[in-house]
Structure 1
Amino acid sequence: MAHNYILQVTTGTEYDITKHQIVPVNSPKTTRIESEDVTVELNVRIQNYRGLPRESPSTSPYFDLPPHNTAKDQYSIAFKFTPKSTINGNDLVFGNDFDHPIRDRLPPGFSTAFKIVKWAVDPGLDGDVYADKPYLYGPAASSVNILSVGDREKVKDDDEEDDDDGEEVEDVGLIFEEGGDADGIAARKEIGVPDAIAARKKFFLNEENRKTWSFKEGVAYGCDFYNPYLDFNDFALRLPGFTMPIMKYWDGQGLRYVLKNRATDKVLFVVLFTLYLKEDVNEDGTLKEGVEGGKPLDLLSEDDKKRYEAAKNGETPAPAASNAKAEGKENEKTSYTNDDDVD
């Protein structure tokens, strides 16, 4: 069924996909977004990528670097963010949330899968998947795989090989090393943040430790979030000893990663992974008229709901209603808007 869909990654400083930029997946070029709260640069990398934009490389040299080459990492969200006001370490969270309920779509074994995710990916992950607006967040300070503090500029001799000690590396994009610049390392040591990745994560799982830390105004923080468990080709979650076929239970909503200040409920930035039917995408990679992604199936028209369900069952979907005129049929433009839409 996955072969009927094509993936697009977008980013922005709010949930509204119409205000997002398209992310050039696996490109060394960073995407920059900015709001009154934050400045962000980011790279998204996905192994064996076959999505939009159509000219996207299928992989990145990033995956040939340690530890990604040995861990067989499948994707990465690397970002450098500079907050425009100080945020307490206990308030900054990173994770997934949704605009609409998913409780009726949770597969058998979800509780087991969630326990494995907490063990293998993020012990600090918590939330409510049964809520009307489900969420799973972890403290950013313990959730990201890499945390680099400070805007260290790398000076490289002509004969020096690239390594992963911060900033942008040619032909790869943003690469960060745990630690930071001189001021950043001093700030970590001041409250006892360990140097090693695993120890830093464990340190920040403690709420009192998080409260002693701040993401300071005007300071750049380099982060990388990656793992080998989410397969964007078969759209499956492959955990140790457990595989979950996401497509079988997918309700049409995009997979959204969010960095937010939970004290103010203010979103800093969003990275959204959205699936489209291939028939809804033009040859140049643009979406056909009337097509909008990231909406659950219960908000689609009956015709489009049937099309998406057919694709999930491995069948060839009928043409979109918005393209019916070209097929010599009545042109019934599909509406994907709803008064209950968020933002």
Structure 2
Amino acid sequence: MADKYIIRVTAGSGYDVGEHVVVPVNTAEPVRISSALADVELNVRVQNYRGLPRNSPASSPYFDQEPHEYNGDQYSIAFRFTPKKPAKAVADGDSGEKDDDEEEEAEGISATDLQFGNDFDHPIRDRLPPGFGTAMNIVRWWIDPGLEGDAYADEPYLYGPALSSFNAVHWGAGEVDAAKGGLWFGEGGSESGLAARRDTGAPDDAKARMKWALKPDSKRRWVWRYGDTYALDFFNPYVDFNEFALRLPGFHLPIIRYWDGQSLRSQPKRSHQLRYVLRNRSTGAVYLAVLFTLYLKEDVNEDGSLKPAALQNKGGHEKKEGGVDDDDEEGNGHDEDFDEEKALAEARRKLSGVDLDAGPETNEDDVD
């Protein structure tokens, strides 16, 4: 089924795809995205990329560098992020004076509020693949204990605090190095940025910082300051955009069957989407949205532009005549060949004693 589709990556400062720019995957020059809330410079890298624009590089020198070669990383969403102080009118009768807490908050975005993750604008609860709950426990244990979400909501989401979700957090601009695939930086910061993050108590090591960032006190101490630039990188070896598959310890889920909550075993949809979002938890403001969209190859012109059929169907949840979804007639989209018990046993073996059924071990000092 995967060979029927071609992928395109776009990005913007909001959800409106009409205002997105096409991201040239695996090229070194960052894409610049600006809004009233933030300035962003973005690189997206994907191993074995065969998508749009046409003739895009199949890989990036980024994947030849450590730790990515050792990890076997399959993709990266890396960007510079400079938040801007929002314009806020002083209310009539308000002196404009702020107490100490308001002044501290006005310096930037709290670590509790800045989130990164995935969301959808329509329900997917009836189309979740077999083993989804166990897979989520593995993700929380193995990848990001700070993840929170509701896959069964009308507008499903899975967000984590940016401070604990990103694999690399660099307080500073980092550098652009074509020999290393574009934006390049490690955990830490510039001289002033490193001093600033140490003042918060954040460890210099990435894994230690991710664990430290789960504590409420840590998130209170870290503020993403307006006007400062941060270099952030999200990468892992678990999503294969070549085969459109999710590979976790003990699990191999073919995303193509469930992409955007849809089973594709009957009539293929014209497009399917996976969205990564940097947002504000308190205000709902979006700073960056990166959209991975699959289009039927027949809906893409030779020059890489989209035909009207692709533009008319942007991946929303659709039903066939009579109100029956594409896969309702085939067991709610569940793969009859999927052996959840076998997958769970393999996950337990690889995770060496982790209690997957209990969910992530947290307490009041660990997460919100």
TM-score norm. by structure 2 comes to 0.76
Corresponding position of 1:139: 161
Instruction: Indicate whether 1:277 and 2:285 are aligned.
Output: no
Q: Determine if the alignment matches structure 1 residue 87 to structure 2 residue 97.
A: no
Please name the residue that 1:150 is paired with.
172
Runs of 4+ in 1 over 4 A off after TM superposition: 299-302
Q: How much does 1:240 deviate?
A: 1.0
1:170 offset after TM fit, Å? 2.0
Contact 1:98 1:253 in 2 (8 A): no
What amino acid is the match of 1:167?
Answer: E
Alpha-carbon offset, residue 295 of structure 1: 1.9
Q: Which letter maps to 1:126? A: E
Preserved CA contact (<8 Å) 1:46 1:232? yes
Contact 2:13 2:289 in 1 (8 A): yes
Residue 243 (structure 2) pairs with residue 234 (structure 1): yes
* Paired residue secondary structure (1:275): strand
CA contact (8 A) 2:121 2:156 kept: yes
1:15 maps onto 2:24 in alignment: no
For residues 113-138 of structure 1, what are the alpha-carbon distances to aligned partners after superposition, in whole Å with 9 as ceiling and x for unaligned?
A: 11111122211111111000000000
Backbone CA RMSD of aligned residues: 1.8
Q: Identify the residue that residue 264 of structure 1 maps to in structure 2.
A: 283
Distance 2:45 2:3 in 1: 20
Whether contact under 8 Å (1:49, 1:233) holds in the other structure is: yes
Q: Distance in 2 between matches of 1:294 and 1:117?
A: 28
Instruction: Please report the TM-score for the alignment, with normalisation by the length of structure 1.
Output: 0.82
Contact 1:92 1:261 in 2 (8 A): yes
- SS of alignment partner, residue 293 of structure 2: strand
Q: Distance in 2 between matches of 1:210 and 1:280?
A: 46
Map Cα deviations across residues 66-111 of structure 1 (whole Å, 9 max, x no partner). Answer: 0010110000000001000211111000000000001011011001
Give deviations 1:38-75, integer Å, cap 9, x for gaps: 00001000000000001100000000000010110000
Contact preservation (8 Å) 1:4, 1:278: yes
Aligned residue number for residue 37 of structure 1? 37
Change in 2 beyond 3 A, CA 1:39/1:301: farther
Distance 1:233 1:296 in 2: 23
Q: Which secondary structure state, in structure 1, belongs to the residue aligned with residue 233 of structure 2?
A: strand
**CA distance in 2 between partners of 1:206 and 1:193 (Å):** 11
Give the structure 1 partner of residue 193 of structure 2: 184
- Report if the CA contact (8 A) 1:275-1:294 is conserved: no
| SS of alignment partner, residue 186 of structure 2 | coil
Q: Deviations over 1:155-194 (max 9, x none)?
A: xxxxxxxxxxx31002410011111011111111112100
Provide closer, same or farther for how the CA distance between residues 118 and 300 of structure 1 changes in structure 2, counting only shifts above 3 A. same
Q: Which moved more, 1:142-151 or 1:272-281?
A: 142-151
Equivalent residue number for residue 49 of structure 2: 49
The alpha-carbon distance between structure 1 residues 63 and 301, as it changes in their structure 2 partners (threshold 3 A), is farther
Aligned match of 1:215: 224
Q: Secondary structure at the match of 1:290?
A: helix
CA distance in 2 between partners of 1:104 and 1:88 (Å): 35
AA of the residue aligned to 1:217: Y
- SS of residue paired to 2:308: coil
Whole-Å separation in 2 of the counterparts to 1:276 and 1:182:
45
Equivalent of 1:296 in 308, 316, 332? 316
Quick check: 1:169 aligned with 2:177?
Answer: yes
Residues matched between the structures, number = 292
The CA deviation at 1:299 is: 6.5
* Deviation of the 1:246 alpha carbon: 1.1
Question: Is residue 2:217 matched to residue 1:198?
Answer: no
Counterpart of 1:4 in structure 2 is: 4
Deviation per CA, 1:269-299: give whole Å up to 9, x if none. 1000000000000000000123225423416
Q: CA deviation at 1:300?
A: 8.2
Quickly say closer, same or farther: Cα 1:289–1:125, change in 2 above 3 A.
Answer: same
Residues 277, 144 of structure 1: alpha-carbon distance in 2 compared, 3 angstrom cutoff: same
For structure 2, list consecutive stretches of 5 or more residues without a partner in the other structure. 86-107, 263-270, 334-368
The SS at the match of 2:25 is coil
Query: What amino acid does structure 2 have at the position aligned with 1:87?
Result: I
Mapped partners of 2:75, 2:198: distance in 1: 31
> Secondary structure at 2:282's aligned position in 1?
coil
